Structure 1
Amino acid sequence: MKYMTGVAAGMACLEGDGVIHRNLRCANLLISEDDTCKISDYGMGTKEDIKKGIRFPIKWTAPEAYAQQIFTSKSDVWSFGVVIYEVFSYGKEPYEGMDPREVFTNVFQEGERLSPPGECRSPWSSIMPQCFHLNPEKRPNFQTIKTQTHGGSE
């Protein structure tokens, strides 16, 4: 759980600085020698809009980012929900067995969402579904997630 609180705190910091990561997933998290979780791979992270045509991992990508290439910190929140799934399923691939077209149809058009894995406990089990609201404005921001997970302390 401490790794997840670290990711939430790191993403709250990026969000506060106006940086959109655009590629948040477990493959881009590193554990340092002092056993803290670090967010990496800022290749797509920027304060500016990215030109259309960039490739991104659909299984971690919010519907508005995939369909309209609208990236905000709220699209990073969607990805964070997928990270919660990855962590508490012990690295299981999200939407396992689905190709990108199936993910688009099942998730974006039919409303299928990842469910919290059995090992996922509060507060993560209640935060995860909030991350998957179709309307980005209804998703929590990272400061809210940080507060829910460790009182907003540094």
Structure 2
Amino acid sequence: MMTSNRGSSRGFTMVELILVIIIAGVLAGVAVPRMLGRTGFDTRGFADQLAATVRFAQKLAVAQHTDVYVRLTASDAMLCYVDATCATLAPGPGGEKPYTVSVPSGVAISPATTLHFDAGGRPVNLAARLDIQVNGSGTHHVFVEQETGYVH
């Protein structure tokens, strides 16, 4: 005679295994597209990096008591001395020359302009608050205030 002792059997039932597979599939279906679409992360990260670069240019102008320019194009931001043509390049925080911050793919800067800080760290020839737009997956703004040069 064969006796069945179900109380001591261990393992998962087929229903439990199927539910776990379904839950894992739903989570993967939601998470994977977000991980593959990096443009949103790149846009926000570059906006933060650009704001830090503009702040550094302002601090460099004050520390070296000279004019510093930030040349913005659709594909990069570069620090330089002397004039807006960037004939004389300014060093970056680690001393690297030229200090250029390249825009990641799928992201662009507008407007293409040159921002000028005087030796006191004040922006020169800004008619109003400068709104630098970082466009990619959405738009992030880097503002430079007209009077003080405050970057946010």
TM-score (norm 1): 0.31
- Greater relative contact order, per chain length (Cα 8 Å cut-off, separation 6+): 1
Determine which structure has the larger strand proportion and give its number: 2
Computing the radius of gyration over CA atoms, which structure comes out larger, 1 or 2? Answer: 2
Determine which structure has the larger helix proportion and give its number: 1
TM-score (norm 2): 0.31
